Amino acid sequence: MPFHEQKILPALRHLKQLEALLNSPYEYIVLLEVHISNLKTIKQEADRHGKKIIIHADLIQGLKTDDYAAEFLCNDIRPAGLISTRSNMIMKAKTKGIIAIQRMFLLDTIALEKSYSLIERTKPDYIEILPGVIPQIISEVHERTGIPIISGGLIRSEAHVQAALDAGAKAVTTSNQQLWAAFMKDSDSF
């Protein structure tokens, strides 16, 4: 079951949000815009609280997304998952048994087609589509690739979350704390 049926993947943008997420019922937490020097401490605290972290490798401050960074994240930090637009990150995560999430930006048809080519090569475990407020494309990407979809970006309301889920997304990433709270109360979200 993807993310143990967790429909919202709360995305931490500021360290001051960490304590609330560690004490929440959410098992999976996405790390965005965190400094590299904080990764080990965050991972240790997450482990202590029974949480699993998914690191957005492209947004870690002070980390270059090269092969050395992929090795560091997979071997030294060992998160539950890695999100990246970079094929080397996805391939390394897969070889290390870490959930590999390919991030896909829906800018135009050319970007979509290039993403399809990349996904054929990397074969990620999940695809994160941004922006996540285009339900028709969520369905299309899942049908074309057969890979489970995560929706994220510009998700601003419970209706946006529900539209993404109704279109076939397995989960929605959001840094919107009001949505974390709204879906925390929804017993069907786990």
Q: What is the mean pLDDT of the chain?
A: 95
Q: Count the neighbouring beta carbons within 10 Å of the beta carbon of residue 47.
A: 12
Residue 97 exposure: Cα atoms within 13 Å on the Cβ side: 2
- The more confidently predicted of residues 186 and 10 is 10
Long-range interactions of 89-98: CB distance < 8 A, separation 24+: 89/57, 89/58, 89/65, 90/122, 90/124, 91/122, 92/67, 94/122, 94/123, 94/124, 94/125, 98/74
Residue pointed to by tokens 């991972």: 43
> pLDDT at residue 155 above 90?
yes
pLDDT at position 165 over 70 = yes
Helix (H) or strand (E) holding 39: helix 39-48
pLDDT at 187 over 70: no
pTM for this predicted structure: 0.95
Q: What is the pLDDT of residue 1?
A: 56
Lowest mean pLDDT segment, chosen from 106-115, 137-146, 149-158, 178-187: 178-187
The pLDDT assigned to 186 comes to: 58
pLDDT at 4: 86
State the burial class of residue 173 (Cβ atoms within 10 Å of its Cβ: 0-12, 13-18, 19+). Answer: buried
pLDDT of residue 185 exceeding 90, the answer is no
pLDDT category, 170, cuts 50, 70, 90? Answer: very high
Give residue 44's pLDDT band: very low, low, confident or very high (50, 70, 90): very high
Mean pLDDT of 47-72: 97
pLDDT exceeds cutoff 70 at 82: yes
Distance CA 141, CA 29 (A): 24
Helix (H) or strand (E) holding 172: strand 171-174
Please list, residue by residue across 137-168, b when 16 or more beta carbons sit within 10 angstroms of its beta carbon and e when fewer do.
bbebbbeebebbbbbbbebeeeebbebbbebb
